[in-house]
Amino acid sequence: MQKVTRRDAVLTGLAAGALPALGALASKPARAASRRESSGGGASHKFEMNIEDTQITLVGKQTFHTFAFGGQVPAPLFHVREGDNVEVVLNNLTTLPHTIHWHGLLQRANWQMDGVPDITQQGIQPGDTFTYKFVADPAGTMWYHCHVNVNEHVATRGMWGPLIIDPKRPTAVEREVTGDYILMLSEWATAWADKPGQGGVPGDIFDYFTINGKSFPETQPIRVKEGDVIRLRLFGAGGGFHSIHIHGHVFEIAFKDGHPLPAPIKADTVLVGPGERYDIILRCDNPGRWMIHDHIDHHTLNGTTPMGGVMSVIEYEEIPRDQSWYHWGKKEFVPDFYYEESMKKPHGIYTNPVFKGVPIT
């Protein structure tokens, strides 16, 4: 375990007139510092990321004060391969302590990297840096989140992001997949939107619901063509349940919490609970324009306004989008909303300007 205490260094530096150095720390984006082959055969990755007070917009004018990894919600995508050695340098630029728990990793003989404050490490204090080192094991759909005051930081401050670990030996269905999509499901209690350090308590009223930090209609369509086989990775990133239903199709639930099921389960609806991940395989065999949405019905509201929340549309390329009444007919399509383009790239860390918020100073 490596811990670098910056607080004393920062105070000393300020006394010596070192304000430019602190500014340089604050301006560092999430980045990949290096990638090389390790002695064990897997690649070695070194990443660096900040935690920042960030204002995001859920939909319309509804904003929220978050403690954002990399200044965005969801946090940057970590995409590596089973057995890779990963090092993450984490700088805390907020006024509260934080950690990262690497949810789903086994951390064999490496429990000190599990990211639980006062159990495996001290919380990373404001101005401090902590370096996590671990082996990417096991393969699958994993995620990472803060483990300090999870009732607030995770449930209502957006401190979560995807960690995808490709297997050394893909399953047969994984070899069929033509598109890979990440959907992180969460809910927001706007009574606490501008009150950082508060919230996440019994009795909270969650009145906004999001996919990847956005509510419909500011989500994006999933564009496919007939014959595609797509993988939808569903994450329960908040503290609530989400009942995800796709119209016009039967899908296969193929993975639970990153692990392949002995036999896929056919369904048209899957209930995703807090912390859970389900990977569903959708065979695009029914051209049309089909809703994907949360069947917990009030999760399709934005406050009290219907046709919002956890909703999107699966659009087949074969179907024209030129009807004047189509809700998204004139919508500007923004690719990579589901990290689907980033998932095609070499292993590394990927940010997304769509998820970037505004720094709060």
- Which two structure tokens, joined as six digits, stand for 53? 């007070």
Is the model more confident about 327 or about 14? 327
Neighbour-count burial of 148, counting CB atoms closer than 10 A to its CB (0-12 exposed, 13-18 middle, 19+ buried): buried
The number of distinct structural domains making up the chain is: 2
Backbone Cα Rg of the chain: 20
User: Is the domain of 24 the same as that of 42?
Assistant: yes
For residue 290, what is the domain's CATH number?
Answer: 2.60.40.420
Asked whether residue 130 is domain-assigned, the answer is: yes
| Mean of per-residue pLDDT scores for the chain | 92
Is the model more confident about 22 or about 277? 277
Interatomic CA distance for residues 293 and 244, integer angstroms: 6
Q: In this predicted structure, what is the pLDDT of residue 35?
A: 56
Q: Is the pLDDT of residue 333 over 90?
A: yes
Asked whether residue 250 is domain-assigned, the answer is: yes
Interatomic CA distance for residues 87 and 43, integer angstroms: 11
User: Is the domain of 274 the same as that of 125?
Assistant: no
Q: Is the pLDDT of residue 274 over 60?
A: yes
User: Is the domain of 181 the same as that of 307?
Assistant: yes
Asked whether residue 234 is domain-assigned, the answer is: yes
User: Is the domain of 180 the same as that of 78?
Assistant: no
Q: Tell which of 170, 199, 227 closes a domain.
A: 170
Domain of 192, in residue numbers: 174-333
**Segment 241-259, tens digit of pLDDT:** 999 999 999 999 999 999 9
Asked whether residue 348 is domain-assigned, the answer is: no
User: Is the domain of 157 the same as that of 246?
Assistant: no
Interatomic CA distance for residues 171 and 62, integer angstroms: 42
Asked whether residue 164 is domain-assigned, the answer is: yes
**Largest Cα–Cα separation, the chain:** 67
User: Is the domain of 121 the same as that of 243?
Assistant: no
Q: Could you tell me if 261 and 255 are in contact, meaning their C-beta atoms sit under 8 angstroms apart?
A: yes
Q: In this predicted structure, what is the pLDDT of residue 32?
A: 67
